[in-house]
Structure 1
Amino acid sequence: MADPKDRLTTVQASVERPARFSRMDMMAAGLSLVWLVAVAIYVLMAPGGAGGPLGVVMTLLMVFLPIALIWITVTTLRSVQDLRAEASRLQASVESMRAAYAEAQAQPSVERKLEEIERATRSAETVLATFTSRRDVTLSQPSADRKAALITPTQAGAADDQPALALGTPAEDLRPPLSVSDFIRALQFPESPEDREGFRALRLALEDRTVARLIRAAQDVLTLLAQEGIYMDDLKPERARPELWRNFAQGERGRGVSGLGGIRDRSSLALTAGRMREDPVFRDAAHHFLRTFDKTFAEFEKNATDSELVDLADTRTARAFMLFGRVAGVFD
Structure 2
Amino acid sequence: MTDQTPDPETKRPTSLGIYDRPGRSGVTGIEIAATILSLIWLVVAVAFLVLPEQTQAGGLVVMLLAVFMPVAMIWVAALAMRASRIMREESARLQTAIDAIRQAYVTQQQRASSSYEPAVSKKLDEIATTAKTTQNALATFSSNRGDPAPVTQKLTPDGQTTLELGTPADEIAGPLPTDIFIRALNFPETAEDTEGFDALRRALKDRKTAQLVQASEDVLTLLSQEGIYMDDLRPDMARPEVWRQFAQGTRGRAVAALGGIRDRSCLALTAARMKQDPIFRDAVHHFLRRFDNMIVTFEPEASDAELTAMGDTRTARAFMLLGRVAGTFD
Corresponding residue for residue 201 of structure 1: 199
Is residue 271 from structure 1 mapped to residue 274 from structure 2 by the alignment? no
After superposition, residues 303-322 of structure 1 pair within 5 angstroms as 304-307=301-304, 308-322=306-320
CA deviation map 1:62-120 (0-9, x unaligned): xxxxx999988876554333213213333444555667778889999999xxx999988
Whether contact under 8 Å (1:286, 1:324) holds in the other structure is yes
Closer/same/farther in 2, CA of residues 283 and 275 from structure 1, 3 Å limit = farther
Closer/same/farther in 2, CA of residues 189 and 178 from structure 1, 3 Å limit = farther
Closer/same/farther in 2, CA of residues 69 and 320 from structure 1, 3 Å limit = closer
* Partner Cα distance (2:108, 2:292) in 1: 45
Q: How many residues align?
A: 254
Q: 1:293 is paired with a residue of what secondary structure?
A: helix
Of 69, 80, 84, which residue of structure 1 is paired with 2:83? 80
Corresponding residue for residue 254 of structure 1: 252
Corresponding residue for residue 234 of structure 2: 235
* Partner Cα distance (2:283, 2:100) in 1: 46
Q: CA RMSD in A?
A: 5.4
Structure 2 residue runs of 5 or longer lacking an equivalent are: 1-29, 52-69, 139-156
Is residue 180 from structure 1 mapped to residue 183 from structure 2 by the alignment? no
* Partner Cα distance (1:78, 1:291) in 2: 80
* Partner Cα distance (2:254, 2:45) in 1: 105
Corresponding residue for residue 55 of structure 2: none
* Partner Cα distance (2:113, 2:182) in 1: 37
**How far 1:305 sits from its partner (Å)?**
3.2
* Partner Cα distance (2:323, 2:110) in 1: 36
Q: 2:210 is paired with a residue of what secondary structure?
A: helix
Closer/same/farther in 2, CA of residues 191 and 88 from structure 1, 3 Å limit = closer
Amino acid at match of 2:204: L
* Partner Cα distance (2:269, 2:236) in 1: 21
Amino acid at match of 2:291: F
Higher relative contact order (CA 8 A, sep 6+): 1
* Partner Cα distance (1:254, 1:83) in 2: 70
Corresponding residue for residue 93 of structure 2: 90
* Partner Cα distance (2:296, 2:110) in 1: 48
Q: TM-score, normalised by structure 1?
A: 0.54
Whether contact under 8 Å (2:267, 2:325) holds in the other structure is yes
Whether contact under 8 Å (1:188, 1:317) holds in the other structure is yes
Deviates more, 1:321-330 or 1:230-239: 230-239
**How far 1:290 sits from its partner (Å)?**
2.0
Q: 1:238 is paired with a residue of what secondary structure?
A: coil
Structure 1 residue runs of 5 or longer lacking an equivalent are: 1-21, 44-66, 136-160
**How far 1:201 sits from its partner (Å)?**
1.4
Whether contact under 8 Å (1:186, 1:202) holds in the other structure is yes
